[in-house]
Amino acid sequence: MAIDTKPASKSAAPSPEKTRREVNILAGFGHAFLAVWALLIIAPLIWTFLASFKSNEEIFGDAWTMPGALRLDNWTRAWSEAHVGQYFLNSVFVVALSTAGTMLLGAMAAYVLARYSFWGNRIIYYLFVSGLAFPVFLALVPLFFVVRNLGLLNSYLGLILVYIAYSLPFTVFFLAAFFKSLPNSVAEAATMDGASHTRLFFQVMMPMARSGLISITIFNVIGQWNQYLLPLALLQGEGAEDKWVLTQGIANISTSAGFDADWGGLFAALTMAILPMIVIYAIFQRQIQSGLTSGAVK
C-alpha cells in the first residue's frame, strides 16, 4: 500500500505586493477622510475671518467673495463699543486662575492616586473619574443654588471654583495614567537622597511629566475658554455685565440688536475669541502630541 509522503497543502500566504497594495488603499482612504475633515473645520474659520472685514451687505451677498476693503473699524467697534476688550480680559483672568488651580490640585491628586497604595485609593480614583459621566447642563440648577448659598453667585471666585471642579475629573484621569508610566528608579533614588514627598513631587516627578502636564493644560484652557453655560448661570444679576466673559459678550452682541445686528463687528469678536486658541495650539502642538503619545506608549 503506497503512502503519500507529500506535505499537506497550506493556503498560500498573501504576497508582499498584495499586502502593500491593500495598505496603500487604506492609507489613501484615511488621507481622503482627513482632508475632508480638515476642510470642514478650516473653511468656516476662514469664512469667519474674512467676514470680520466685510460690511453687512457683503456678508449677505456672495458669501465667498473677498472683502472689498480691510474694514478694521469692525474690530475697533467690537473691541471698544461692544466691550469685547473687557470681556476678553475677564476671560483671560478667569481661565488663567482656574487652569492654574486645576493643574495644581489635579496633578497632586493624580500623583498620589498613581504612586501611593492606601485603602480607598481605587474608590477615590473612580469617584474622580465618575465626574466624566455628568454633562454640565445636568447639574446647572443644583449648582446654581449651591453657589448662591455659599454667597459666591455673580463672582469670579464662584466661577473659578466651578471651573476647577468640572475640569478635575479629566485632569486626574489623564495624569494618573501618565504618572504611572514614569520610572520608579528615579523616585527611589531621590528618596534615598533624603527628598521629602513634597520635594519629590515638585522637583523630580513634575519635570519628568512635563509633556503630559502641557497637554492637559492646553485641553483645560480650551475647554474653559469656550465655556458658555456655566458663566451664563453663575454670572447674572445686578452689575453682572461688567464681569461677563467673552462667550457671554459675543452672545449678547448677536441677540441684543435683533435684525439690526452689526454682523461685521460680531464676526470680528468671534475671530478675537478663536485666534488665541489657534495660536496656543500652534505653539504647543509638538508638546501636546508628545504628551499624548508618551502616555500611551510607556
Asked if 43 and 186 sit in the same domain, the reply is: no
**Which of these, 224, 210, 130, lies nearest to 175 by C-alpha position?**
210
Q: Which residues contact 247 (CB under 8 A, 6 or more apart)?
A: 91, 226, 227, 228, 231, 273
pLDDT for res 283:
84
**pLDDT grade for 6, boundaries at 50, 70 and 90:** low
What is the average pLDDT score of the chain?
84
Q: Which residues contact 297 (CB under 8 A, 6 or more apart)?
A: none
**pLDDT grade for 160, boundaries at 50, 70 and 90:** very high
**pLDDT (mean) for 89-95:** 95
Asked if 156 and 102 sit in the same domain, the reply is: yes
Cell of 296: 500611551
Give domain status of residue 6, yes or no: no
The H-assigned helical ranges of 181-262 are: 184-192, 197-199, 206-208, 210-225, 229-234, 246-256
Instruction: List pLDDT tens digits, range 55-77.
Output: 888 888 877 788 888 888 889 98
Q: Which residues contact 284 (CB under 8 A, 6 or more apart)?
A: 214, 218
Asked if 39 and 156 sit in the same domain, the reply is: no
Give domain status of residue 7, yes or no: no
Over 70: is that where the pLDDT of 12 sits?
A: no
Asked if 100 and 47 sit in the same domain, the reply is: no
Distance between CA atoms of 5 and 108, rounded to whole angstroms?
69
* CATH classification of the domain holding 245: 1.10.3720.10
Asked if 183 and 279 sit in the same domain, the reply is: yes
Cell of 216: 492637559
Q: At which residue does the C-alpha cell 503630559 appear? A: 212
**pLDDT (mean) for 267-285:** 87
Domain count, the chain: 2
Distance between CA atoms of 155 and 237, rounded to whole angstroms?
10
Domain that holds residue 201: 83-297
**pLDDT (mean) for 24-41:** 86
Give domain status of residue 64, yes or no: no
Are the C-beta atoms of 110 and 171 separated by less than 8 Å? yes
pLDDT for res 29:
84
Give domain status of residue 180, yes or no: yes
Q: Is 106 exposed, middle or buried (0-12, 13-18, 19+ CB in 10 A)?
A: buried
Asked if 47 and 120 sit in the same domain, the reply is: no
Q: Which of 3-7, 55-59, 147-151, 284-288 has the lowest mean pLDDT?
A: 3-7
CB burial readout 57-67, b (16+ within 10 A) else e = ebbeeeeeeeb
**pLDDT grade for 21, boundaries at 50, 70 and 90:** confident
Asked if 151 and 243 sit in the same domain, the reply is: yes
Over 50: is that where the pLDDT of 123 sits?
A: yes
Asked if 131 and 34 sit in the same domain, the reply is: no
Over 90: is that where the pLDDT of 149 sits?
A: yes
- Percent of the chain predicted with pLDDT > 70: 88
